[in-house]
């Protein structure tokens, strides 16, 4: 949103861009961010289904063993 606001300002400085953030209930969290949190040892249980959390732990545990 910040990049979009900056581009809009360059295209037409007289128009302000306004964006609103949703409540946590409707917040979108990217899968890349979830994977990164999990890879760094963080707990992602509050963001994803327990099956997904377990699968991430299993997958990342396997990768660590291979490295």
**pLDDT for residue 54:** 92
**pLDDT for residue 62:** 57
DSSP, collapsed to helix, strand or coil, labels residue 37 as: helix
**pLDDT for residue 67:** 52
Read off the pLDDT of residues 5-37 as tens digits, 9 standing for 90 and up: 899 999 999 999 988 888 877 678 889 999 899
Give counts: helices (H), strands (E), the chain. 3, 0
**pLDDT for residue 51:** 94
What is the mean predicted confidence (pLDDT) over 38-66?
A: 83
How open is the CA angle 34-25-39, to the nearest 5 degrees? 10
**pLDDT for residue 57:** 87
**53 touches 45 (CB < 8 A):** yes
Residue with the two structure tokens 């910040």: 2
**DSSP letter (8 states) at residue 25:** G
């Amino acid at each position: 949103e910040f990049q979009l606001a900056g581009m809009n300002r360059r295209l037409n400085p007289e128009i302000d861009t306004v964006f609103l953030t949703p409540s946590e209930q409707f917040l979108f969290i990217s899968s890349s961010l979830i994977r990164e949190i999990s890879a760094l040892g963080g707990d992602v249980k509050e963001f994803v289904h327990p099956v997904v959390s377990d699968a991430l732990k299993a997958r990342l545990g396997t990768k660590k063993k291979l490295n």
